[in-house]
Amino acid sequence: MIGMRVLVVGQGGREHAIVEALHRAEDSPQIFVAPGNPGMEPLAERIPVAPDDVESIVGWSKKNEIDFVVVGPEVALAAGLADALRAVGIATLGPGAAAARLESSKRYTKDLLTRLGLPTAPYRVATSADEADALLATVTYPIVLKADGLAAGKGVVIAENADEARATVDAWMRDGALGPAGETIVIEDFIRGEEASVLVLTDGQRWMLFPPARDHKRIGEGDTGPNTGGMGACAPARLPSEADAIAFGKRIVDPILRTLREENTPYRGILYLGLMLTSEGPQVLEFNARFGDPEAQVVLPLLEEDALPLLWNAALGRLPADRHATFLKYRGAAVCVVLASRGYPARPATGDDIEGLEGPWQHGIHLFHAGIDKHMGRWVTSGGRVLGVTARGVNLEEAREAAYAATSRIYFAGMQYRRDIALTSEQVGRTDP
Ligand code: GLY
């Protein structure tokens, strides 16, 4: 594998974390990223192609003799990028479009989970606004509304009452705010518990787990305000335990992978299990067809083994048999604090100068660039989630302290971040970072 040419597709903090993990590989691969961002330039050569421009990525990869592609974002998977790359003989980590429906169609996933008798909240499906209104008259609030299709993190609303639910139906189904993604919706019972993200590396049959992670999705401390793409993460999460995570894999991942193999749409890539841990056991909230973001920014820095051969072998359908249903080797804990621009998530501002990115940084600090650009030598904001500040430590407390200490050195106008990343709900309000 010496001299391997690897292309990472995507441009955010997740892809920066993937690039960094590959850069640590023993065999020193040559790394390219399409399109990447300026923060990745020390580690990877940037290719100016959009992640869902399938034809250009395949053409460029062939011409440039790429050996291996790791696909970051769901839009590229849903567009069939992994299918197209495999069709020309390029090993690719990421499911084909049919298997990626686990993320790109909430309805497909709920139907599949139900068919397999796997634990998930009761739901109904509406394919018109009138049908949704009629269903919403019969439910108990709060209720969860999910757009069927991909909606860039904007497709889930927890409606506290009928007015909020109807406003969402109006926006998605009558006004077309999400385009075709919102033409069908899933209306799901709200379940309480502790959320966990379990990221699974699979070759379609065998699988291995990254340390369980926890994402903080709402913009405000104490899990208040609108949903975002994720305002921070930690790993290993306090729950589930390693033994429970392996048990969930056997209960949930095995039947899903088996079904996809039987349907001739094997799943090779990262399968993200979004779980709600309840007193009655885990419930599947969602699947994603890729690394979570910001979860990737905590699980990848924790790895104590070379990620490249494992990702490569998963892509080729040959994860080692003796590693099936085990964890990738990791050590310690990591906390990622996401710095978001003013106005995020509704109307993120861009173009604000960012100060304090220069090091030196203490060992174990990683700055994963997302919505950042460079203009005339100055770093400026260019998106909603600007930067993930990750710190590693021997435990969550130490990692958390280091992540907030690093965060305090960075500034841009209107910078928003949550002060309660990695705290349990019981701890929120009692600790002042
Ligand atoms: N952190 C949630 C996601 O990646 O979808």
CATH code for the domain of 41: 3.40.50.20
Q: Which of 189, 206, 241 lies at the terminal end of a domain, its last residue? A: 189
In a domain, 279, yes or no: yes
Instruction: Tell me: do 248 and 294 sit in the same domain.
Output: yes
Ligand 1 contacts CB of residue 215 (under 6 A): yes
Taking only the tens of pLDDT, the chain with its 433 residues reads 788 999 999 999 999 999 999 999 999 999 999 999 999 999 999 999 999 999 999 999 999 999 999 999 999 999 999 999 999 999 999 999 999 999 999 999 999 999 999 999 999 999 999 999 999 999 999 999 999 999 988 899 999 999 999 999 999 999 999 999 999 999 999 999 999 999 999 999 999 999 999 999 999 999 999 889 999 999 999 999 999 999 999 999 999 999 999 999 999 999 999 999 999 999 999 999 999 999 999 999 999 999 999 999 999 999 999 999 999 999 999 999 999 999 999 999 999 999 999 989 999 999 999 999 999 999 999 999 999 999 999 999 999 999 999 999 999 999 999 999 999 877 876 444 4
- CA 210, CA 255: separation in Å to the nearest integer? 19
Contacts with 294 (C-beta within 8 Å, 6 or more apart), sequence order: 13, 14, 215, 230, 232, 233, 336, 338, 368, 385, 388
Instruction: Tell me: do 206 and 318 sit in the same domain.
Output: yes
| Residue minimizing CA distance to atom 4 of ligand 1 | 292
Contact status, residue 303 vs residue 335, Cβ threshold 8 Å: no
In a domain, 102, yes or no: no
The overall pTM is greater than 0.95: yes
CATH of the domain at 271: 3.30.470.20
Ligand 1 contacts CB of residue 286 (under 6 A): no
Ligand 1 contacts CB of residue 182 (under 6 A): no
Atom of ligand 1 nearest to the CA of 291: 4
Among residues 385, 206, 399, 223, which one has the least CA distance to residue 299?
399
Instruction: Tell me: do 344 and 250 sit in the same domain.
Output: no
Handedness of CA 47, 48, 50, 54 (dihedral sign): negative
- CA 361, CA 358: separation in Å to the nearest integer? 8
Token pair recorded at residue 174? 């009558």
Ligand 1 contacts CB of residue 103 (under 6 A): no
- CA 20, CA 240: separation in Å to the nearest integer? 27
pLDDT at 41: 98
In a domain, 368, yes or no: yes
CA distances from 199 to 52, 236, 364 (A): 23, 11, 22
CATH of the domain at 366: 3.90.600.10
Instruction: Tell me: do 243 and 310 sit in the same domain.
Output: yes
Contact status, residue 127 vs residue 179, Cβ threshold 8 Å: no
In a domain, 386, yes or no: yes
Q: Which residue(s) pair with 147 in the sheet?
A: 185
In a domain, 414, yes or no: no
pLDDT at 431: 45
Q: How many domains does the chain have?
A: 4
In a domain, 105, yes or no: no
Amino acid sitting at position 216: H
Instruction: Tell me: do 381 and 338 sit in the same domain.
Output: yes
In a domain, 412, yes or no: no
| Residue minimizing CA distance to atom 3 of ligand 1 | 292
Instruction: Tell me: do 176 and 207 sit in the same domain.
Output: no
Beta-carbon-side half-sphere exposure of residue 112 (alpha carbons within 13 Å): 22
Q: How many angstroms separate the alpha carbon of residue 296 from the centre of ligand 1?
A: 9
Ligand 1 contacts CB of residue 92 (under 6 A): no
Amino acid sitting at position 167: A
Token pair recorded at residue 252? 């949930």
| Residue minimizing CA distance to atom 5 of ligand 1 | 292
In a domain, 199, yes or no: yes
pLDDT at 424: 83
Q: Which of 135, 164, 189 lies at the terminal end of a domain, its last residue? A: 189
Pocket residue to mutate for ligand 1, from 18, 102, 109, 197, most atoms within 8 A of Cβ: 197
Cis peptide before 255 (omega within 30 of 0): no
Pocket residue to mutate for ligand 1, from 295, 297, 385, most atoms within 8 A of Cβ: 295
Ligand 1 contacts CB of residue 74 (under 6 A): no
Q: How many angstroms separate the alpha carbon of residue 111 from the centre of ligand 1?
A: 21
Ligand 1 contacts CB of residue 292 (under 6 A): yes
Q: Which of 301, 327, 353 lies at the terminal end of a domain, its last residue? A: 327
Instruction: Tell me: do 305 and 339 sit in the same domain.
Output: no
Pocket residue to mutate for ligand 1, from 18, 288, 300, most atoms within 8 A of Cβ: 288
Instruction: Tell me: do 167 and 230 sit in the same domain.
Output: no
* Domain hosting residue 81, numbered range: 5-96
pLDDT at 429: 60
CATH of the domain at 143: 3.30.1490.20
Atom of ligand 1 nearest to the CA of 292: 4
pLDDT at 425: 74
Instruction: Tell me: do 337 and 321 sit in the same domain.
Output: no
